[in-house]
Chains A and B, each alone.
Chain A
Amino acid sequence: MKSYSYVAPALAVLLLAISGCRSVPRDAGFADVRRNIEERLGKQVHWNQGSTDDQSAADSVRTMLQRELTVDDAIQIALLNNRGLQATYQALGIAQADLVQAGLLRNPRFSGSISPAVGVSGTKVGLDLVADFLNIFSIPLRKRAAAAEFAAAKARVTASVLETASQTRLAFYDFQAAQQALDLWKTTVQATNASFTASEQMHKAGNISQLDLALDRALRDQARLGMAKAEAAVADSRERLTGLMGLWGKPASAWQAAAILPPIPAEEIDLTDFEKSAVTQSLELAVSREQAEAMARRRGLTNLQAVLPELETGVSSEREEDGAWFVGPVLSLEIPIFDQGQARRAKARAEVQRALESHAALAVQIRSRARASANRLLQARSRALFLRDEVLPLRKEILDQTQLQFNAMQIGVFQLLQVKRDQIEAGRQYIETLHDYWRSRAAVELTLAGVSPSNGGSTALEEWHDSGRQTLDGKERD
Chain B
Amino acid sequence: MAISRRKLITGGLTAAAMGAALLKPSPVLADGKTKPVWAKPALEPGEPGKHYQPVVTPNGATLPFKIVGGAKVFYLVAEEVEHEFVAGLKAKCWGFNGRVHGPTIETVEGDHCRIYVTNHLPSATAIHWHGLLIPNGMDGIGGLTQKPIEPGETFLYEFTLHQHGTFMYHSHHNEMVQIALGLMGLFIIHPREGAKKVDRDYAILLNEWRIEPGASRPNPNEMSDFNVFTFNARSFPGTEALLARTGDRVRIRIANLSPTDHHPIHIHGHHFKVVSTDGGDVPESAQLPETTVLVPVGSTRTVEFVADNPGDWFLHCHMTHHMMNQMGHDIPNLIGVDPGVLDKAIQPLIPEYMTMSGNAMEGMEMPMPPNSAAMLLGHGPFGAITTGGMATVVKVRDELAEGKDPGWYMNPESPADKPASPDQLKRDGVEPPKRNVQPGAEKHEH
Contact = CB atoms under 8 A, between A and B. Distances in A.
Interface of A: 187, 190-191, 193-194, 197-198, 201-202, 204-208, 399, 401, 403-414, 416-417, 420
Given A404-B214, A405-B214, A197 B327 contact: no
Contacts of B214: 401, 404-405
Contact of B331 (A190, A193, A206, A409): A409
Given A407-B375, A408-B326, A408-B328, 16 more contacts: A190-B349, A194-B345, A197-B341, A198-B332, A198-B346, A201-B338, A205-B439, A208-B332, A404-B214, A405-B369, A407-B354, A408-B368, A410-B212, A410-B330, A412-B332, A417-B349
Contacts of B310: none
A320 to B, nearest CB: 109
Contacts of A404: 213-214, 367-369
Interface in B330-372: 330-338, 341-342, 345-346, 348-350, 352-356, 363, 366-369, 372
A449 B336 CA distance: 67
21 contacts: A197-B342, A197-B345, A198-B332, A205-B337, A207-B337, A208-B333, A399-B350, A403-B367, A404-B368, A407-B354, A407-B366, A407-B368, A409-B328, A410-B212, A410-B326, A410-B328, A410-B374, A411-B331, A413-B342, A413-B346, A413-B356
B350 A412 contact: no
Given A205-B337, A408-B213, A417 B375 contact: no
A202 B337 contact: yes
A207 B336 contact: yes
Contacts of B346: 194, 198, 413, 417
A274 B421 CA distance: 90
A417 B349 CA distance: 9
A337 B345 CA distance: 96
A330 B341 CA distance: 107
What 6 pairs between A and B have smallest CB-CB spacing? A205-B336, A408-B374, A410-B328, A407-B366, A194-B345, A412-B331
A408 B366 CA distance: 8
Interface residues of B, number: 36
A35 B332 CA distance: 70
Contacts of B367: 403-404, 407
A427 to B, nearest CB: 13
Nearest to B213: A408
B366 to A, nearest CB: 4
A37 to B, nearest CB: 48
Interface of B: 212-214, 326-328, 330-338, 341-342, 345-346, 348-350, 352-356, 363, 366-369, 372, 374-375, 439
A414 B350 CA distance: 13
A202 B345 contact: no
B87 to A, nearest CB: 15
Nearest to A424: B349
Contacts, number: 106
Contacts of A410: 212-213, 326, 328, 330-331, 374
A409 B375 contact: yes
B213 to A, nearest CB: 5
A207 B345 contact: no
Contacts of A205: 335-337, 439
A401 B346 CA distance: 17
B349 A201 contact: no
B213 A405 contact: yes
Contacts of B327: 409
A403 B336 CA distance: 22
Contacts of B213: 404-405, 408, 410
B321 to A, nearest CB: 12
A371 B368 CA distance: 52
A201 B333 contact: no
A456 to B, nearest CB: 40
Most buried by B among A202, A208, A403, A407: A407
A407 B363 contact: yes
Contacts of A401: 214, 369
Contacts of A416: 350, 353
Given A407-B368, A408-B326, A414 B332 contact: yes
Contacts of A201: 337-338, 341-342
B342 A411 contact: no
B109 to A, nearest CB: 48
Contacts of B337: 198, 201-202, 204-205, 207
Nearest to A404: B369
Contacts of A411: 328, 330-331
Contacts of B439: 205
Contact of A202 (B332, B350, B353): B332
A416 B367 CA distance: 15
A204 B336 CA distance: 9
Nearest to A207: B333
Contacts of B326: 408, 410
Contacts of A417: 346, 349
B325 to A, nearest CB: 10
A421 to B, nearest CB: 10
B339 to A, nearest CB: 9
A206 B368 contact: no
B349 A420 contact: yes
Contacts of B350: 399, 403, 416, 420
A69 B353 CA distance: 38
A201 B342 CA distance: 8
Contacts of A191: 349
A403 B333 contact: no
